[in-house]
Amino acid sequence: MSYDLKGKRVYVAGHRGMVGSAIVRRLASEGCEILTATRAEVDLTRQTEVEAWMGKNRPDAVFLAAAKVGGILANDTYPADFLYDNLILEANIIHAAHKIGVEKLMFLGSSCIYPKFADQPIAEESLLTGLLEPTNEWYAIAKIAGIKLCQAYRRQHGRDFISAMPTNLYGPGDNFDLQSSHVMPALIRKAHEAKVNRLPEITVWGTGKPRREFLHVDDCADACVHLMKTYSADVHVNVGSGEDITILELTQLVAKVVGFSGGIVHDLAKPDGTPRKLMSAEKLRALGWYPRIPLEAGITNAYEAFLKGEYLERRQGDAA
Ligand code: GDP
């Protein structure tokens, strides 16, 4: 199938977040009209506001990149926020998109939807085959519900709603707040501050042994646009690099990019989370998409963005 974005009215929900803003940048070359809305214009957790805005602006296509996001500590500390806010905003947008007859919608989730001990690399079919990682199961349940909503509206109403599940993303627009961020921006900030302040060491949460996969957000946005144009089926698609590294190896790489040459110590009171979550990239590759930004070059780009202040120092709990 092929869905041409040219001349279409394309709504990017969550355009201030790291992923949404990357999708907006990527769409600039598609010849479409990009629609965005600030939180003052439409509160996505309010059904009447979402339906009124969608009815008035009538997008042809929607990228659903709005979400309440956060790292391992934030997820573990605010379960109600992560479950409720994500459930309600995705239900509001998907249902409103159905009501006004949106031609195509892409829902964005996360690799944490998969069982904690899923076989690696994790294939799309592993969904709902085992227990979730407890530190982020609230967020995961909401994202699984989003996938199911898309499938349900496809099945019952014939809507072309699809889902993409990105791996751990990083890049410009990331959240560098140490309490609520993910590991990559946290390490960039810690290494930078240690370098500037001539500190002897940086502290890494947990053992450093968990393995994680990382993808630059511009690669993710490119994959999302590719899927929007070429993919139509009810199975969600993993969006990843297909490679993973340990948190300790990542720390060493970030230290190299930033130019921090001190030591690394571990805070074992902090959780490790799931031991490994490398997603299978086979499905996306079979659809003709490959990542273009190698990890070290990507981290260099993210560090430059951090230095320019191109990041959102979000309060924990702010939606992306
Ligand atoms: P996760 O992928 O959902 O577990 O989320 P994170 O990106 O927050 O954490 C990934 C891994 O990095 C976990 O094992 C963390 O314990 C570890 N980690 C090490 N240092 C940090 C840090 O400073 N911040 C965060 N968020 N994670 C860290």
* Residue from 183, 265, 277 whose mutation best tests the ligand 1 pocket (most atoms within 8 A of CB): 183
Q: Which of 186, 214, 77 is nearest to 138 (CA)?
A: 77
CB 86 within 8 A of CB 69: no
Q: At what angle do helices 295-307 and 247-258 cross, to 10 degrees?
A: 60
pLDDT of residue 248: 98
- Whether 204 lines ligand 1, by a CB cut-off of 6 Å, is yes
Whether the ω angle into residue 121 lies within 30 degrees of 0, i.e. cis, is yes
pLDDT at 319 over 70: no
Helix (H) or strand (E) holding 222: helix 217-230
pLDDT at 194 over 80: yes
Helix (H, G, I), strand (E, B) or coil at 6: coil
pLDDT at 315 over 70: no
Mean pLDDT of 268-280: 93
Mean pLDDT computed over every residue of the chain: 95
pLDDT of residue 320: 38
Cα→Cα distances 245→165, 213, 250, 278, Å:
19, 6, 7, 9
pLDDT at 99 over 90: yes
Quickly count: other Cβ atoms within 10 Å of residue 257's Cβ: 22
pLDDT at 158 over 80: yes
Mean pLDDT of 281-289: 97
| Stated pTM of the model | 0.95
pLDDT at 314 over 90: no
Q: How far is the CA of 274 from the centre of ligand 1 (A)?
A: 10
Q: Which of 55, 5, 14, 52 is nearest to 33 (CA)?
A: 5
- Whether 112 lines ligand 1, by a CB cut-off of 6 Å, is yes
Q: In this predicted model, what pLDDT tens digit does every residue of 200-245 receive, in sequence order? A: 999 999 999 999 999 999 999 999 999 999 999 999 999 999 999 9
Distance CA 60, CA 7 (A): 10
Report, as residue numbers or ranges, the catalytic residues.
139
